[in-house]
Amino acid sequence: QVQLVESGGGVVQPGTSLRLSCAASGFTFSNYGMHWVRQAPGKGLEWVAVISYDGSDKYYADSVKGRFTISRDNSKNMLYLQMNGLRVEDTAVFYCAKDSNHCSGGSCSSLDYWGQGVLVTVSS
């Protein structure tokens, strides 16, 4: 069965960096686009970034563009989110999610499997 397990969260100070990881199993990871979605405490879902099946296409929400970088290692079935210049408003549970499509050229469809999420707290 499909499993997505995030790790790397924690409490950090504003302006610092953190890298989230997502270990994927139960499907052919290299065939699908992958997303990061976040949810601030008590708030709704916010799409963060997507990467195509082969890593050639990446798209970001305006709120993180220039600060966050999504990447993947298909040899290890791993998805990453490098977060730099963290702000208090980045505090959230971060989910990795599998797309049902390859997302090449932006051809994404829906987020059909989600991880359990990892909490990132940015506080001084």
Partner 1 sequence: QSALTQPPSASGSPGQSVTISCTGTSSDVGGYNYVSWYQQHPGKAPRLMIYEVSKRPSGVPDRFSGSKSDNTASLTVSGLQAEDEADYYCSSYAGSNNFFYVFGTGTKVTV
List residues near partner 1 by CB under 8 A: 35, 37, 44-47, 50, 57, 59-63, 95, 97, 100, 105-106, 108-117
> Residue 123, exposed/middle/buried by CB under 10 A (0-12, 13-18, 19+)?
exposed
Q: Please choose, from the candidates 104, 74, 111, 92, the residue with its C-alpha nearest in 3D space to the C-alpha of residue 12.
A: 92
Residue number, 17 or 40, with CB nearest to partner 1: 40
CB of 97 to partner 1, least distance (A): 8
Q: Which is nearer to partner 1, 89 or 112 (CB)?
A: 112
Amino acid of residue 45: L
Greatest C-alpha distance within the chain: 41
Taking the CA atoms of residue 63, residue 78, residue 28 and residue 101 in that order, the dihedral angle to the nearest 10 degrees is 10
Q: How far is the CB of 84 from partner 1 (least distance, A)?
A: 20
Report, in Å, the least distance between residue 20 CB and partner 1: 15
Rounded to an integer, what distance in angstroms lies between the CA atom of residue 62 and that of residue 28? 30
Specify the residue, 83 or 97, whose C-beta has the smaller distance to partner 1: 97
C-beta of 44 vs 124, nearer to partner 1:
44
Least CB distance to partner 1 at residue 51 (A): 12
